[in-house]
């Protein structure tokens, strides 16, 4: 099998890249080791930045997103018995869209299959070779066979545990990471959201978040130790802890059937550079952010905008400048987003070794934020998304 771009991974980054390249007549093959049903059911992020939602709509992927997505103009911060709303629209003139990542994946898969461009499910990429010599190949396991896919460029969009990043010797890459001393216990419940917008709560027992996926599905999280056993958290205990940490005058948490329960470890990770020869990385294959700032999916989309432009120039004009600049351009945004995500995380979570002073200082930081329009504007600017350059993509 031969193609111009072999894309490893059918998550949002890989599927969006394939969609953008197909629109320009560039041949792509997307390889996904899981089944279609698996990736379409996998619950992940649910917040789209303003410019990211606009991009999906502009490239023909926004019909259902616009119809079913929940437009939010702000978030609520809850601490020390008070709730402060950060009004995005008045601060920066834009908001966010709540739309589950698995729903976005469904839209992307449907568009890919309707286009007739190849998407191989249950096709596991097991090796990438030749990318430093300009003749990249991907070895793919399909059933009991190993096939070879020859390409001009390989895009590793296969997540943190994928094989693309490992295709370059560790001596040639720099990795930066931070493990946080807590995790999120998350539930998906058939219950109407108890708030019209997300609530971020800083409580003496730890962080809690009220989010949603639809008018009838709530997504809620509580901070727990990293090694937490989910069996120790039956549904009733989860609901009681959520009610405690999210409590406020007049607030009533809606309960319902818990349809999913999971544990998310918190970490920050960046690999540099994001390109080696004809192998490029995008999304979680290159960087991970803690979910507090809702940036993982959005940062992956930003990578794809740079990569798509670089590949347009490479295949249509024979120019490699975009590929050469790809890593630098992506990393400029990545480190800004890493800082914002770290800041949101440390401001709202209770560290296991936190002293009374640490907790009081944390409350002081939240009080200072609540009293400063300038500080709120910085939060709003980052939460709703740094400007996304889509020139040459939607024109």
**8 A C-beta contact, residue 304 and residue 323:** no
Catalytic residue among 295, 306, 326, 349: 295
Residues paired with residue 7 on neighbouring β-strands, in sequence order = 30, 155
Contact 41, 18 (CB under 8 A): no
Contact between residue 226 and residue 159 where contact means Cβ atoms under 8 Å apart: no
**295 an active-site residue?**
yes
Determine which one of 50, 72, 203, 306 is catalytic. 72
Q: Which of 291, 306, 326, 349 is catalytic?
A: 291
Give dist(CA 97, CA 200) in Å, integer.
Answer: 17
From the candidates 182, 200, 221, 326, give the one annotated as an active-site residue: 200
Give yes or no: 387 in active site. Answer: no
Contact yes or no for 312/306 (Cβ under 8 A):
no
72 is catalytic: yes
Q: List the structure tokens of 294.
A: 């809702």
For 1, other C-beta atoms within 10 Å of its C-beta total: 14
User: Which of 99, 180, 182, 383 is flagged as catalytic?
Assistant: 383
DSSP H or E segment with residue 287 = strand 287-288
Tokens of residue 247, six digits: 């409590």
Tell me whether residue 99 is one of the annotated catalytic residues: no
Distance CA 359, CA 381 (A): 26
Cα separation, 209 vs 199, in Å, equals 6
Contact in structure between 304 and 16 (CB atoms under 8 Å): yes
- Decide if 34 is catalytic: no
| Per-residue tokens: 159 | 């997540």
Answer whether 348's CB lies under 8 Å from 358's CB.
no
> Which amino acids are annotated catalytic?
72, 200, 291, 295, 383
């Amino acid at each position: 099998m031969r193609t111009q771009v072999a894309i490893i991974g059918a998550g949002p980054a890989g599927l969006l890249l394939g969609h953008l390249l197909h629109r320009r007549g560039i041949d792509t093959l997307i390889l996904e080791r899981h089944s279609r049903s698996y990736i379409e059911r996998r619950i992940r992020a649910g917040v789209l930045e303003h410019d990211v939602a606009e991009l999906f709509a502009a490239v023909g992927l926004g019909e259902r997103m616009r119809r079913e997505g929940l437009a939010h103009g702000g978030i609520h911060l809850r601490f020390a018995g008070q709730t402060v709303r950060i009004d995005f629209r008045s601060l920066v003139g834009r908001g966010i869209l709540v739309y589950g990542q698995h729903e976005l994946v469904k839209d992307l898969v449907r568009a890919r299959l309707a286009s007739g461009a190849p998407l191989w499910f249950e096709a596991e990429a097991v090796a990438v070779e030749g990318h430093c010599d300009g003749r990249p190949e991907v070895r793919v396991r399909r059933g009991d066979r190993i096939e070879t896919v020859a390409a001009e460029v390989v895009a590793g969009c296969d997540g943190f545990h994928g094989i693309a990043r490992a295709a370059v010797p560790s001596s040639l890459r720099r990795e930066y990471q931070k493990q946080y001393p807590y995790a999120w216990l998350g539930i998906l419940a058939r219950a109407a959201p108890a708030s019209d917008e997300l609530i971020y709560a800083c409580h003496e027992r730890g962080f809690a978040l009220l989010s949603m996926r639809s008018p009838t599905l709530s997504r809620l999280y509580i901070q727990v130790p990293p090694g937490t056993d989910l069996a120790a958290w039956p549904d009733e205990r989860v609901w009681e802890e959520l009610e405690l940490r999210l409590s406020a005058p007049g607030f009533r948490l809606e309960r319902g059937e818990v349809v999913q329960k999971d544990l998310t470890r918190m970490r920050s990770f960046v690999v540099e550079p994001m390109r080696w020869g004809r192998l490029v990385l995008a999304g979680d294959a290159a960087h991970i952010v803690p979910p507090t700032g809702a940036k993982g999916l959005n940062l992956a989309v930003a990578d794809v905008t740079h990569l798509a432009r670089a590949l347009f120039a490479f295949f249509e004009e024979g120019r490699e400048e975009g590929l050469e600049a790809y890593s630098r351009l992506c990393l400029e945004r990545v480190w800004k987003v890493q800082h914002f995500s770290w800041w949101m995380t440390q401001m709202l979570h209770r560290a296991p070794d936190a002293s009374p002073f640490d907790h009081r200082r944390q409350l002081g930081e939240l009080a200072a934020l609540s009293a400063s329009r300038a500080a709120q504007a910085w939060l709003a600017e980052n939460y709703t998304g740094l400007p996304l350059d889509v020139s040459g993509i939607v024109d």
